[in-house]
Amino acid sequence: MAIYVISGQKLYIGEYDRSGDISKVNLEAKVPALETTPISVVAAKTFIPGLQETDFDADVYTSYAALTDSEPTLWANLAVPDKALSVYPNGAAANTPGYAFRSLLTKLDLKNKIGDIAVFNINAKSSGSLLVKVNSMEGIVTKTATGTGTAYTIPANGTVYGFLHVITVAGTNPTLNLLVQSATDQAFTTPTTRLTFTQATVITSEYKSLAGMTDDWWRLSWTIGGTGGPSFTFICGVGIE
């Protein structure tokens, strides 16, 4: 059994890497137990599972200096539905496990007193999606040319989910077209495109899903266009539930 020291965690909320602003993260997936005990039962109660809910809570160091700092970006996303939110407890290198969901930021709470470090608390809940265990695939990378990623096994028997965070963009009229592809073999003899993200031209985030998957091998494929040295820094977690 591996034992881990909590360090180097990565947190992406929408199109921003907020890892350097966070002091504490709580992530909870829960399913209520709905009682179905009939009056005829004499020994024990019975229950069935309700609908899954994901609850995210974090303490954020407050910074106002730039529009891309913690407070302005999170304030702008308050009550904005369907933001991709990804947590990677052991860092975001390639082929690293994490958790992601389609989120709704519901609370931004500033409670400080004189002499304290300025911190605010945020809360987000799942918005019509499950909490998905994802593979970071290429990890957090900067790409400047068209290519395909490493193939990884993600045993499939359900719905594939993709969570894309485009963190930085450079160049003149830059474009990024990102695909999630699958195949029955590691060599990707016959690749099939499963998820197609909206073309990215600025920093952005997006969530995609597709049901009915059976392939076990998965990879990313990207096409980059533009002039003046186009580049994109992004991470795309892929999981199957």
Distance CA 104, CA 94 (A): 27
Q: How many CB atoms lie within 10 A of CB 95?
A: 12
Give residue 53's Cα distance to chain centre: 16
Q: Where does 136-240 sit in CATH, by number?
A: 2.60.120.680
Q: How many CB atoms lie within 10 A of CB 91?
A: 15
Q: What CATH fold (topology level) applies to the domain 10-31+50-132?
A: Elongation Factor Tu (Ef-tu); domain 3 (2.40.30)
Percent of the chain with pLDDT over 90: 75
- pLDDT, tens digit (0-9, with 9 covering 90-100), for 99-119: 999 999 999 998 778 888 888
Does this model's pTM top 0.75? My answer is yes
**At residue 150, does pLDDT exceed 80?**
yes
Domain ranges of the chain: 10-31+50-132, 136-240
Give residue 156's Cα distance to chain centre: 19
Cα distances (angstroms) measured from residue 40 to each of 35, 36, 47, 48, 65: 14, 11, 15, 17, 65
- pLDDT, tens digit (0-9, with 9 covering 90-100), for 184-234: 999 999 999 999 999 999 999 999 999 999 999 999 999 999 999 999 999
Supply φ then ψ for residue 70, to 5 degrees. -60, -50
